[in-house]
């Protein structure tokens, strides 16, 4: 009788071990491989290089193997896929391409299968990086615009709505009726070179528009 109970206990332990092992493998497989798509925006007035390194990777962040893209001033990139393992954070950096003396770093946890903007901008003379989640919000026959600004600016939309931007933050989507009906500090933000019916991110630096990129 005791032998029977001992064998039964062994069977239970083995069963639990198999269940835990199998469950652990499945869980690891589900979190192992992640990717996001990132569009880079250079809101700085000089050419810069962007870098990305996964948490735990060896080598200097500014090594060529971590180099992602070089952008001219006020330029932007198409979406670039970034991959990482499990719950790793990602370390992003920007550096001026000439003297390599100005730089900024940010470490972020990204979500699998999402899209982001990575914006390099100037904050009181120093490089800064911000990560903004990208999502479209298009409507027919109007412009849908979010504003990312380097300071506080008064914005007026359609002569009926005004607000003040927040430094280093992106606004909610604004509905702009026509290409010249949005102003920044009383200066028109010209959207006429872009198509209506789409959504955009407008990056403002030094009281002027330096980048306007489609979010769709």
Helices (H) and strands (E) in the chain, counts: 1, 16
Q: What is the pLDDT of residues 49-89, one digit of tens each?
A: 999 998 878 889 999 999 999 999 999 999 999 988 888 88
Give how far Cα 99 sits from Cα of 31, 48, 126, Å: 40, 10, 15
The token duo for 113 is: 């299968």
Res 85: pLDDT: 83
CB 73 within 8 A of CB 49: no
Burial bucket for residue 29 (CB in 10 Å: 0-12, 13-18, 19+): exposed
Name all domains of the chain by residue range, CATH numbers in brackets.
Answer: 33-133 (2.60.40.2890), 143-214 (no CATH)
CA distance 57 to 54: 6
- Sign of the CA dihedral 137, 133, 49, 67? negative
Q: What is the pLDDT of residues 3-14, one digit of tens each?
A: 544 444 444 444
């Amino acid at each position: 009788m005791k032998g029977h109970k001992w064998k039964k206990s062994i069977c239970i332990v083995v069963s639990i071990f198999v269940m835990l092992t199998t469950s652990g493998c499945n869980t690891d497989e589900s979190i192992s491989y992640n990717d996001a798509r990132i569009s880079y925006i250079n809101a700085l007035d000089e050419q810069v290089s962007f870098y990305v390194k996964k948490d735990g990777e060896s080598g200097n962040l500014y090594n060529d193997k971590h180099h992602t893209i070089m952008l001219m001033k006020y330029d932007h990139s198409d979406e670039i896929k970034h991959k990482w393992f499990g719950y790793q954070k990602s370390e992003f950096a920007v550096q001026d391409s000439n003297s390599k003396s100005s730089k900024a770093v940010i470490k972020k946890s990204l979500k699998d299968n999402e899209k982001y903007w990575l914006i390099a901008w100037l904050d009181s003379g120093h490089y800064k990086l911000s990560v903004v989640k990208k999502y479209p919000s298009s409507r027919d026959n109007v412009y849908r615009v979010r504003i990312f600004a380097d300071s506080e600016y008064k914005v007026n939309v359609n002569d009926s709505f005004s607000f003040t931007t927040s430094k280093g933050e992106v606004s909610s989507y604004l509905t702009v009726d026509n290409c010249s009906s949005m102003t920044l500090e009383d200066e028109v933000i010209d959207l006429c070179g872009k198509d209506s019916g789409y959504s955009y991110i407008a990056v403002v630096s030094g009281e002027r528009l330096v980048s306007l990129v489609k979010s769709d």
